[in-house]
Amino acid sequence: MLDAGGELAGVLRIFSGSSHPELAQEIANYLQCPLCRRTTSRFTNDNLFVRLEESVRGKDVVIIQSFSPGCEGGTSVSDNVLEMFLMLDAARSASAKSVHAVIPYFSYARSDKKDEPRISIAARLMADLLATAGAGHVMTMTLHSPQVHGFFSVPTDHLTAQDEMVRHFRNRDLSNTVVVAPDMGHAKRALKLARALGTSVAAADKERIDDKEVHIERIIGDVAHKDAIVLDDEIATGGSMIALVELLIRHSARKITLACTHGVFCGSAIERLGNMREIEEIVTTNTVPIPPEKRLPNMTILSVAPIFGEAIRRNILGQSVGSLFAYWPDQPEG
């Protein structure tokens, strides 16, 4: 990544929501811009009140908020989504030149189709509401399925943490390694990482029973006596990963590493993963805050701040961000 060099300090205003101010500060540091102040409180009727404490008139405004539980007073996902909408509206109403919504973890991307009667396609609804609230541009990372990118009516950059993963894994011996996708839907993402690392690739045949339970019948590809890197977009309850690790063990895989962009680790996921001695390492990123009680001894957390910082810099300066995209072909930018 290039050094932003503080060239945007005069035109850029960066605000953080309540969900992940630590990542927002890292992004601001990368851009050598201050993180502007924001006040969030509640009225007596429990309604949220949000105020941007810096003038944004004529400025390019970036608002950073993961759709995850927050680390400021234990805020909920719903609180943080609404806070984002209010901040976007405040920036637009205060005559900002441009308003950019940076959502490192877009959790509603999992609701991308109508697979039951009388349910909402929440990912599309959230995309519509972001534009309605005032976002003229969205940046996010590793959506659960690529079609969610098409739900947005405003320009949207779908970024990837692959470069950080590649840099991390290239520090180890990969001569007998296979990258494993947890299901066929994620095979393309696993194949791209495997090509970058020069390894083979395999995929599991997974059927999801419900939000917590999955059934994995077989693995397509050779994993016997190989080191396995299991790549997924996120680890939530850990059910898919644990089922796949157990199957990999039965297929005589050697060292097993779990890798994901979004380390949500909800419910008993950390306890269950911590009890599996066969897992050598868990590699994730800081798209969501991971408190100390969720940080296992074998966990590595990579920072995505340089990726988002560089995407912001290039957007404000009118430069291409193609090389930072998820699912982008491995070729020079046009």
Q: Which residues contact 38 (CB under 8 A, 6 or more apart)?
A: 15, 16, 17, 50, 51, 52, 53, 87
Relative to beta strand 48-52, strand 38-42 is antiparallel
Question: Is there a contact between 278 and 245 (Cβ–Cβ < 8 Å)?
Answer: yes
Question: Is there a contact between 145 and 112 (Cβ–Cβ < 8 Å)?
Answer: yes
Question: Is there a contact between 5 and 46 (Cβ–Cβ < 8 Å)?
Answer: no
206 catalytically annotated:
yes
Question: Is there a contact between 141 and 68 (Cβ–Cβ < 8 Å)?
Answer: no
Question: Is there a contact between 285 and 303 (Cβ–Cβ < 8 Å)?
Answer: yes
**Which one is catalytic: 97, 114, 192, 206?**
206
Please tell me the distance from the alpha carbon of residue 282 to that of residue 318, in angstroms, as a whole number: 37
CA atoms within 13 A on the CB side of 302: 22
203: amino acid identity, one letter: A
Relative to beta strand 256-263, strand 279-285 is parallel
DSSP string, 288-330: S---GGG--TTEEEE--HHHHHHHHHHHHHT---GGGBTT--S
Please tell me the distance from the alpha carbon of residue 183 to that of residue 212, in angstroms, as a whole number: 16
Which residues participate in catalysis according to the annotation?
Answer: 206
